[in-house]
Structure 1
């Protein structure tokens, strides 16, 4: 299982509030309605943190990254193992893919846009294991064994998001398709380094 899945959701209000004084902001926030909603609905933000492993308060990558074509990278969240999620491209781009960079120098696109990324993360917080080919049933069983409230919290998150729920087959197909588009244009290099990151899924 991925590191950091032992976190716990804190209780919070269902009402969306303006929490700009307590949550760090990024350039993408006001220019991306879904991201703004995730940030200002504290219940959803807590559920994304756990069980989603998508923590909106973790926005400090282990190092500064640059894409080959110079497209902007906006960090939007992190996970318990030190990885960072980025929105790629300019705010007015029609599509802004979501890139995940691990703390160990591996990277992959996980979706063509934030909506699809959140659908994947909400339904399958163990998407990295899924992408490595581990059977979904075994991953589900392990999550339920380690965290008996996992299913209830996940259902709560998906219902709160009001986004379609992915099947396992849909999730794997979309994830593999996105991952296949990572190289060469979304394979970043750390500032000051010559060697680019490695692909998470080889």
Structure 2
């Protein structure tokens, strides 16, 4: 049986674990954006920054940020949950993508993973969600995220009609001292292993 929002929300403990990864399955009451060609967007949840997750008629999952950025982030609801579990900081991967560079996204993912504050809590949430949903680990969640956002053709508009911009942001981890240092440490430890 494919993973759907209905199957997921029937499992309260899994929903709680996903909440610890900043995904809430309680959609906003008031629509604050529209999607060209989609009459009634089905918002399935939100995150702590006010962004919305929408299940499109194509079964893709779209993310609309409260800052006016939007795009498809996963090819299916199951791929969306896999992404959130593998990389709860997926939005930061896009923030530090250097305008949509896959290698920069991979560097960002490695640096962000190494800077997790409550790594034990995150890892426990990952194990619980995967176990309870019998969810396999994705082969390449960063690559899948890149592919989804790069191919996104959904046009999301604010209530005033202005279009949202892409989820790819122009920053690189080199713009952030904490992430730059984390990447340098990761590179150093990789060299020592060789």
Band of TM-score, shorter chain: 0.7 to 0.9
Aligned residue for 2:152, secondary structure, equals: coil
The 5-angstrom pairing of residues 177-192 of structure 1 reads 177-183=147-153, 186-191=154-159
Greater RCO (Cα-Cα under 8 Å, separation 6 or more): 2
- Aligned counterpart, 1:50: 20
Cα deviation for residue 146 of structure 1 reads 4.0
Deviation at 1:160, TM superposition (A): 1.5
How far residue 66 of structure 1 moved from its aligned partner, in angstroms, is 1.9
**CA 1:159/1:107 → structure 2, altered by over 3 Å: closer, same or farther?**
same
Structure 2, unpaired ranges of 5+: 98-104, 170-194
Contact 2:36 / 2:155 at 8 angstroms: preserved in 1? yes
Aligned runs of 1:32-51 on 2, under 5 Å? 34-51=4-21
Q: Does 1:77 align with 2:45?
A: yes
Residue 62 of structure 1, CA deviation: 7.1
How many residue pairs get matched?
Answer: 158
> Mind listing any 5+ residue stretches in structure 1 that lack a counterpart?
1-31, 90-94
Tell me which residue corresponds to 1:141.
114
Measured in 2, the distance between the counterparts of 1:66 and 1:149 equals 36
Larger deviation: 104-113 or 125-134?
A: 125-134
Is 1:159 matched up with 2:122? no
Determine the C-alpha separation between the residues in 2 that align with 1:136 and 1:197: 24
Encode CA deviations 1:78-136: one digit per residue, 9 max, x unaligned.
101111100112xxxxx311000111111121111111111111111111122332532
Report the equivalent of 2:168.
Answer: 201
SS at match of 2:138: coil
Residues 37-80 of structure 1 show CA distances to partners (whole Å, capped at 9, x for unaligned) of 211111100011112x21012x1177432222235311101101
| Counterpart for residue 190 of structure 2 | none
| Cα offset, 1:147, TM superposition | 4.7
Alignment root-mean-square deviation, CA: 2.1
**Which deviations, in whole Å up to 9, do the C-alpha atoms of 1:164-193 show, x marking residues without a partner?**
1024xx11111111101223xx121123x2
TM-score by length of 1: 0.70
Distance 1:200 1:140, change over 3 A: same
TM-score normalised by L of structure 2:
0.73
* Preserved CA contact (<8 Å) 1:123 1:158: no
Secondary structure of the 2:48 match is coil
Q: Highest Rg: 1 or 2?
A: 2
